[in-house]
A and B are shown apart, each in its own frame.
Chain A
């Protein structure tokens, strides 16, 4: 995947992702067609969001993939193999499943919940334990603090993180997610979405994701499938969907502000952001002034960003105020942004903080770049380019 930092890349052969293909899939309940002749292909490692109004058949479509619902007609293939070729329970162990209400087993600890599928797959105990710890760490729940807790002791957001870890535990090539983030508050949802995207880069699974929220779809999807009354009305990458809705229904559904929504398609890392003008705490004032004079350090508004030895931003310091050494105590550098933050979220964060620029920090918290409102606004032109590589 282009743009993925080398450190995030998994060891080769460690990640499985499968191609999913639906061919003429139909589900009929009496006279009603819940899903009507649905055909689509999700390439390996891509996120496909199924979206549409309530009752459009998106959840039914999802549940047919792991055979919680059996189709009336059509076939579903994973890597070319029909899902009906294997007993349903065996099939489901190879498909991650995440649902809105999480559905953790309340009588088992977090670690036991995450170990569900590896144990069903018959993994040796010596392999399950480390795998559980690895996954809990991956979803942001330090195993030392969380492994032995029960689900009732966790917040909704934490429960959904466990749900995600559980779904990933067996290293399935395909993940099904049914409105996984809709039951939590907006702030938690936003954080879970961003964390999921980061996770998906590290471990690129094929994902089918049901949502009723176009903003979420635009943010998460490589490709969006818009459904209405059981039928697929448009199947396109987010940028194309926003730029060129197939009909009035899709146009209505994506909303009148679809130009603004386009901001959610570009991430800060897609922009050519100026590097953060960082100086180390304790650096000689003369060196700083030399770097400014030579143009290798470009202050913003006359200030440079002081960081600790670990590269974490401490506070903005005016160059004029630097004496013999850079002195800085931790102060206000918010908002801190991540390279995977969308332009829309970045703008929102800047407006909320009343700041004209924010510091972009990498996964280790080191200041790497600065994003300001004007640069982000310039990103408005970007979606068209993104459409090409999505």
Chain B
């Protein structure tokens, strides 16, 4: 095991910090875009078999495209930089969010829906006040899975000039005759980010679903 060059890390601490923030920004923007697309799609197809199969199928196909190729394919339509990275990462997250959201929405007991409609909630109120809150645990499962995988794949964003910790691993490490220190630092930071974000989301879920932790004793 070669020595880690702590002095190099110290000298580049500012750069590393900027890349870490960039990485978080890319991840956050990607998840926001993915949610903005996936939630309405999931809501629209939740009660229909064929449209759901089509939406889930398209999302699955996107998920199977190799990440390098996907970013490259986007380049003719966008400039180099953050945009192709965010679009590509959001595309990857769609499948997990759409599928989990639909599972959650379909898991709302029919009797709860019937009672809600019977009390005089409009279809829109049933969706917003009943179905979405009750689907929240499943939606959060999808968001957490997608976030963790996005943090990892986001390292590839460096190839389309998106910045982030991929830059640390690729530009500073691999391209400099496998200079190990930045490669290791980038890897450790990426993993730490993934774990931290997952824990953060788990905490948010805990706060948002007080009913789920109170059962009959």
Identify the A interface with B (CB < 8 A).
Answer: 66, 68, 89-94, 97, 99, 101-108, 116-117, 120, 149-155, 163, 166, 176
Interface contact A150-B114, CB-CB below 8 Å:
no
Interface contact B120-A103, CB-CB below 8 Å:
no
Interface contact B120-A93, CB-CB below 8 Å:
yes
B119 contacts chain A at the CB level, 8 A cutoff: yes
Within 8 A of A (CB), among B90-145: 109, 111-122, 125, 129-130, 133-134
8 A-B contacts (beta carbon < 8 Å): A89-B120, A91-B120, A93-B119, A101-B109, A105-B129, A107-B133, A107-B134, A154-B216
A105 with B130, Cβ < 8 A, contacts A150-B211, A153-B215, A154-B216 known: yes
Within 8 A of A (CB), among B171-217: 209-211, 214-217
A99 with B211, Cβ < 8 A, contacts A90-B120, A92-B120 known: no
Interface contact A102-B120, CB-CB below 8 Å:
no
The residue in chain A whose Cβ has the minimal distance to the Cβ of B114 is A103
Interface contact B115-A107, CB-CB below 8 Å:
no
Q: With A and B bound together, what is the CA distance between A104 and B119 in angstroms?
A: 11
* Interface of chain B: mostly helix, strand, loop or mixed: helix
Interface contact B118-A92, CB-CB below 8 Å:
yes
Interface contact A105-B112, CB-CB below 8 Å:
yes
A166 with B119, Cβ < 8 A, contacts A103-B111, A107-B209, A152-B211 known: yes
Interface contact B211-A97, CB-CB below 8 Å:
no
A99 with B119, Cβ < 8 A, contacts A106-B134, A107-B211, A153-B214 known: no
Interface contact B115-A103, CB-CB below 8 Å:
yes
Q: With A and B bound together, what is the CA distance between A154 and B121 in angstroms?
A: 24
Q: With A and B bound together, what is the CA distance between A386 and B121 in angstroms?
A: 41
A106 with B114, Cβ < 8 A, contacts A93-B120, A166-B119 known: no
Taking a contact as CB atoms closer than 8 A, the residue among A68, A94, A176 that contacts B117 in the complex is A68
Give the distance to chain B from A81, nearest Cβ to Cβ, in Å: 17
Q: With A and B bound together, what is the CA distance between A89 and B124 in angstroms?
A: 11
The interface residues of chain A lying within 8 Å CB-to-CB of B118 are 66, 68, 92, 97, 99, 103, 176
Chain B interface residue count: which class?
Answer: 20 to 34
Q: With A and B bound together, what is the CA distance between A104 and B115 in angstroms?
A: 7
The interface residues of chain A lying within 8 Å CB-to-CB of B120 are 89-94, 117, 120
Give the distance to chain B from A25, nearest Cβ to Cβ, in Å: 18
Give the distance to chain B from A262, nearest Cβ to Cβ, in Å: 35
The residue in chain A whose Cβ has the minimal distance to the Cβ of B113 is A103
Taking a contact as CB atoms closer than 8 A, the residue among B115, B121, B210, B217 that contacts A120 in the complex is B121
The interface residues of chain A lying within 8 Å CB-to-CB of B114 are 68, 99, 103
Taking a contact as CB atoms closer than 8 A, the residue among B111, B116, B117, B214 that contacts A152 in the complex is B214
Known: A107-B211, A120-B121. 17 other contacts (CB 8 A): A66-B118, A89-B121, A89-B122, A94-B120, A97-B119, A101-B109, A103-B111, A103-B116, A105-B112, A106-B134, A107-B134, A108-B211, A152-B214, A153-B215, A153-B216, A163-B115, A176-B118
The residue in chain A whose Cβ has the minimal distance to the Cβ of B209 is A107
The interface residues of chain A lying within 8 Å CB-to-CB of B211 are 106-108, 150-152
The interface residues of chain B lying within 8 Å CB-to-CB of A108 are 211
The residue in chain B whose Cβ has the minimal distance to the Cβ of A63 is B118
The interface residues of chain B lying within 8 Å CB-to-CB of A166 are 119
The interface residues of chain B lying within 8 Å CB-to-CB of A155 are 216
Q: With A and B bound together, what is the CA distance between A99 and B119 in angstroms?
A: 11
